Structure 1
């Protein structure tokens, strides 16, 4: 019972705070209800480039333009994301008629622990794909750098694709995956040293 009272008081306090903060602004949405105001706050859309808000007073803070990263860092980040994207494409695109080539493509982009694990599992993977007469496709929808430095990076990737095999009567079935990859700089090339499925 005490928890219900606390929750009710919290909701009331938040409602009052939202009304005080946004209800009297001249640019606030012209709405009648509290939930409409919440909607207008949580669905703020990105402004077009022509309406940059740098320096604008936004209540308790000021929007500040960020300095662009140094060019070398931008190039390195792009290389890290590109390497992770190539690995995701190689890892997810499999064809039972070309499975050996598919496996070699992955191994060429791998290093360290991931290369060892994948190599150890490659023979079983090939057997499984051939037995099921499987074909899997995957395409990277987006990729983002989680963290990176001069010799390593973590990249998260979201993919869409299909899988078709005996169990699906060779009809493509949609598959979506999110992957987290760690890439490392080895002899001037960014290679994947870890790959995990993430939720």
Structure 2
């Protein structure tokens, strides 16, 4: 049986009001929980985006540095090959009427053992070339790096030489293969050793 006080409360309640569930949090508390949850989610997404961006930048920088390193190495190797080619061209091109200049050109790239081989022999060599009326024209057939290090490289060079002199009829064609050691020193790139390769 409903007492008079309870009946009065029920009668005073508006007709469209919903029953109150005491287990549910008040509306204000629910409103506070949603922004906190959203803020945490946004912070997590921002941190993940920053991490992905940092990884992409690191990968791009690594690629750029690696490409630059390869370009630098390729450029250095090309310089070694060019120096070896020029040295062999100088060696295989000599003429009686320009012997002094031709020998100077050979020595301009020489260092180490290769230069020592010319010490005291320049004048006798020049005299032989002039007396025999040598005319020698060199041509590089092929050149490639055999091995390289930070400050030196060994280059294989194939060359062709067309040679005439006073003691023979007509030109002779000769083919040579050289192993040329190019060194990078204080005076730049020089040829420190030249060997014949069978």
What TM-score does the superposition give when structure 2 sets the normalisation length? 0.63
Q: Which residue of 1 aligns with 2:31?
A: none
Give CA deviations for 1:39-79 in whole Å, capped at 9, x if unaligned. xxxxxxxxxxxxxxxxxxxxxxxxxxxx9881111011100
Alignment-derived partner of residue 153 in structure 1: 153
Deviations 1:9-51 (A, max 9, x none): xxxxxxxxxxxxxxxxxxxxxxxxxxxxxxxxxxxxxxxxxxx
Tell me what 2:95 maps to. 95
Other structure's SS at 1:143 match: strand
Q: Secondary structure at the match of 2:115?
A: helix
Tell me the distance in 2 between the aligned counterparts of 1:102 and 1:151: 27
Greater share of residues in helix: 2
How many angstroms does 1:180 deviate by? 0.9
Q: Radius of gyration: which is bigger?
A: 2
* Alignment partners' CA distance in 2, 1:118 and 1:186: 20
Aligned-partner Cα distance in 2 for 1:197–1:120: 22
**What whole-Å deviation, never above 9, does each CA across 1:127-184 have from its counterpart, x for those lacking one?**
1111111111111010010101110110010011211001213x21111111111010
Shift of 1:119: 3.1
How far off is 1:120 after superposition? 2.6
Q: What is the match of residue 106 of structure 2?
A: 106
Q: Does 1:193 align with 2:192?
A: yes
Deviations 1:85-115 (A, max 9, x none): 0101111100001000000001000111211
Unaligned runs of 5+ in 2: 1-65
Over 4 Å off, 4+ runs: none
Is the CA contact 1:139–1:159 (under 8 Å) kept in the aligned structure 2?
Answer: yes
Aligned to 1:164: 164
User: Which secondary structure state, in structure 2, belongs to the residue aligned with residue 124 of structure 1?
Assistant: helix
Q: Secondary structure at the match of 1:90?
A: helix
Task: Give 1:8's aligned residue.
Answer: none
Check conservation: 1:107, 1:119, Cα contact below 8 A: no
How far apart, CA to CA, are the structure 1 residues paired with 2:139 and 2:111?
A: 22
Work out whether 1:180 is the aligned partner of 2:186: no
The Cα of 1:188 is off from its aligned counterpart by: 5.5
- Please, what TM-score do these two structures have when normalized by structure 1? 0.63
Q: C-alpha displacement at 1:187, in angstroms?
A: 2.0
